């Protein structure tokens, strides 16, 4: 199981056992790499089902994270598997990745001038098979943007593979006026909470 993260960096932590990231997100890869961790990347190949009737956004992303992580865990015994799923939520509307430029414009117009939540569910399967999972929510305030501004942003191409049609760590930072909660959660992984869980279980230790 060779390292294919492609971003091995010096950092303040190291892992004591193999870690597999059950996600193809380059943003999640970078967040883990910044800690100094080494890991393999093996995204789940499962199709993501739609939310069930009455299912809350937090319950949905947690279910998706567990579904994908457990799928990958069946192929890598003895490793720590980490998976996650992130949704942009306004009220009870879950916004996934836009299917077209018009879909992206609809999402961004709906979010413009409003406060929404970014909810990430993450799941950790430990080498002994124990399953740990949580969801984390961050409030995000968006500036009131004109249609022309939003279309100019959409034409950059950045929104097309992002939940909610924006990237807080990219060009889309101009849309955001304030956040309350974990910044990395908006990027795609509540890093401080994930790290705390891995430290508590001895999967990760300080480099020093």
For residue range 69-110, list pLDDT tens digits in order.
Answer: 999 999 999 999 999 999 999 998 999 899 999 999 999 999
Question: Is residue 4 in some structural domain?
Answer: no
Q: How confident is the model at residue 6 (pLDDT cuts 50, 70, 90)?
A: very low
Question: Is residue 90 in some structural domain?
Answer: yes
Question: Is residue 5 in some structural domain?
Answer: no
CATH of the domain at 182: 3.90.950.10
Percent of the chain with pLDDT over 90: 88
Question: Is residue 105 in some structural domain?
Answer: yes
Does the structure show a pLDDT above 70 at 191? yes
Active site residue 40: no
Q: Write down the pLDDT at residue 7.
A: 56
Catalytic residue among 34, 40, 85, 139: 85
Range of the domain at 163: 13-206
Question: Is residue 19 in some structural domain?
Answer: yes
Average pLDDT over every residue of 152-164: 96
Q: Write down the pLDDT at residue 3.
A: 45
Q: What is the 3-state secondary structure (H, E, C) of the chain?
A: CCCCCCCCCCCCEEECCCEEECCCCHHHHHHHHHCCCCCEECCCCCCCCCCCCCCCHHHHHHHHHHHHHHHHHCCCCCCEEEEEEEEEEECCEEECCCCCHHHHHHHHHHHCCCEEEEEEEEEEECCCCCEEEEEEEEEEEECCCCHHHHHHHHCCCHHHHCHHHCCCCCHHHHHEEEEECCHHHHHCCCHHHHHHHHHHCCCEEECC
Does the structure show a pLDDT above 60 at 2? no
Question: Is residue 2 in some structural domain?
Answer: no
Mean pLDDT of the residues in the chain = 94
Question: Is residue 3 in some structural domain?
Answer: no
Question: Is residue 1 in some structural domain?
Answer: no
Quote the number of domains for the chain. Answer: 1
């Amino acid at each position: 199981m060779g390292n294919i993260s492609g971003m091995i960096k010096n950092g303040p932590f190291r892992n004591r056992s193999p870690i597999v990231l059950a996600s193809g997100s380059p943003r999640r890869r970078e967040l883990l790499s910044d800690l100094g961790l080494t890991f393999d990347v093996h995204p789940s190949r499962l199709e993501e089902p739609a939310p069930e009737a009455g299912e809350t956004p937090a319950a949905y992303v947690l279910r998706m994270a567990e579904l994908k992580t457990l799928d990958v865990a069946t192929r890598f015994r003895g490793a720590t598997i980490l998976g996650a799923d992130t949704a942009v939520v306004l009220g009870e509307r879950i916004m996934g990745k836009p299917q077209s430029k018009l879909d992206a414009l609809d999402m961004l117009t709906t979010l413009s001038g409003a406060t929404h939540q970014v909810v990430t569910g993450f799941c950790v399967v430990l080498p002994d098979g124990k399953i740990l999972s949580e969801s984390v929510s961050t409030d995000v305030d968006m500036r009131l943007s004109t249609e022309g501004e939003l279309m100019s942003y959409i034409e950059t191409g950045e929104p097309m593979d992002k939940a909610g049609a924006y990237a807080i760590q990219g060009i889309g930072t101009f849309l955001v006026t304030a956040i309350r909660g974990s910044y990395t959660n908006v990027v795609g992984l509540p890093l401080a909470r994930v790290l705390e869980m891995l430290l508590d279980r001895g999967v990760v230790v300080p480099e020093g």
